[in-house]
Chains A and B, each alone.
Chain A
Amino acid sequence: MGIITVERKVLAKNDAIASELRSKFEENGVFVINIVSSPGSGKTSLVEKTIEHFNGRVNISVIEGDVQTDLDAQRVAAYNVPVVQIITNGGCHLEANLVKDSLVNLDLIPTDLLIIENVGNLVCPAGYDLGEDMKVVVISVTEGDDKPLKYPKMFMNSKVLIINKTDLLPYVNCNIELLKSNALKINPELKVFETSCTTGLGIEKWCDFLESSI
């Protein structure tokens, strides 16, 4: 029988669902961001601050991904936006089929911006397309300036880098200029923002950029 040439991406099934989702988002005029980071970088706080900033001017829906609990969905629901929680039960990342299933509970027609908050993990979510327009990687200054070099794929595959918790810079051993330059060495096209979800610093710049992308 010999050799069968295949040359097929292992994640082709995920990619096919993702491209189906992308068409669906486009048809409904929905801009989609996929927020990725390690646990505790401030993804949910960033989602809250973003919703707060737009204050209803942009119609936002949210998909929350976590290994367990709907704590994040509860936080986001307090802002009166539609939110769906995906619990992966141990899964370390969201896959396109999970997003597809969760859309049953979301109305895309009135949505301008769909925010997908991925499972906190700086490794696996990098490889899975969810049909988003862009991946946004969040890193907090408490994680240290070397992380882009240690977890390069997440930075390779993202369009935006948000450096969060900048209010803690005086207390932690993190050189923010080095952090930025490390990230840009991995991905020179990254658009970088600095934020503090505690003081609100930098949120406006990030949201202005986001609004201009929608």
Chain B
Amino acid sequence: MHELSVAENIIETVKQNVPTLEMAHVKEIRLKLGEFSNVVADSLIFAFESLKDEYNLNNSELVIQPVKFEIECSECGAVTSNKYGMRECAICGSFNTQVLSGEELLVSEIELID
């Protein structure tokens, strides 16, 4: 249950990018969330919703952009996915692979009301 502290860190990021007087004009906070980021989207939104009024973010919404776990095979070059997070290439079965994505936990964009 560390979603509350993750939500606090998201708000911190918003504060660093948006002038204090503009906080009420924040419409959307877009978050890239990897499949294996260990953060539960619903709990995170709940935590954010509970905190946002305190920071004048009452007009804002936290929008989750899920990022799939993807690996690149060093043997056959294929980019594939694995629903369990295994490093096995779906094409040739090699474990000689590199993780490309799926661990993201980052604020990508903040949209303000015009």
Contact = CB atoms under 8 A, between A and B. Distances in A.
B6 A185 contact: no
A124 B2 contact: yes
A147 interface: no
Contacts, number: 97
B54 interface: no
Looking at chain B, what size class is its interface with the partner chain? Answer: 35 or more
Chain A interface, >50% SS class = mixed
Given A3-B111, A186-B86, A186-B87, A10 B1 contact: no
A95 B99 CA distance: 25
Looking at chain A, what size class is its interface with the partner chain? Answer: 20 to 34
Interface stretch (A23-31, A129-137, A149-157, A171-179): A149-157
A104 interface: no
B57 interface: no
A1 B106 contact: no
B37 interface: yes
A39 interface: no
A110 B71 CA distance: 42
B43 interface: no
Chain B interface, >50% SS class = mixed
A191 to B, nearest CB: 15
Given A1-B112, A4-B18, A184-B95, A123 B106 contact: no
Nearest to B106: A9
Contacts of B22: 1
B106 A124 contact: no
Interface string B24-47: 010000010000111100000000
A6 B108 contact: yes
B18 A185 contact: no
B73 interface: no
A13 B9 contact: yes
B107 A1 contact: no
B66 interface: no
A127 B96 contact: no
A187 B96 CA distance: 10
Contact of A2 (B9, B13, B85, B111): B111
Interface of A: 1-14, 92-93, 95, 123-124, 126-127, 149, 152-153, 156, 184-188
Given A6-B107, A127-B105, A149-B86, 4 more contacts: A1-B25, A6-B13, A8-B17, A123-B38
11 contacts: A1-B114, A8-B13, A9-B105, A11-B6, A124-B38, A127-B2, A127-B39, A153-B103, A156-B103, A185-B86, A185-B87
